[in-house]
Amino acid sequence: ERNTDGEKSKIVVMYDYNEYAMKNSPPTQLVKKLLYNLRDHWPERLEHVFVVDAPFIFRAFWAVIKHFIDPITKDLVQFVTGEEMKRKVFSEIVSEEHATPWMLAEGKNAEDADMQKYLRDIPFDYAYGEKFSDPI
Q: Using the predicted structure, report yes or no on whether residue 79 has a pLDDT greater than 90.
A: yes
Q: What is the mean pLDDT of the chain?
A: 78
Question: Which contacts of 17-21 are long-range, i.e. CB under 8 A and separated by 24 or more positions?
Answer: 17/51, 17/52, 17/53, 17/54, 17/55, 17/58, 18/52, 18/53, 18/102, 20/53, 20/54, 20/55
Q: Which of 41-55, 85-99, 116-130 has the lowest mean pLDDT?
A: 116-130
Task: Report pLDDT for 128.
Answer: 64
Highest mean pLDDT among 15-24, 35-44, 71-80, 109-118: 71-80
pLDDT category at 94 given cuts 50, 70, 90 is confident
Q: Is the pTM of this model over 0.75?
A: no
Mean pLDDT of 33-59: 80
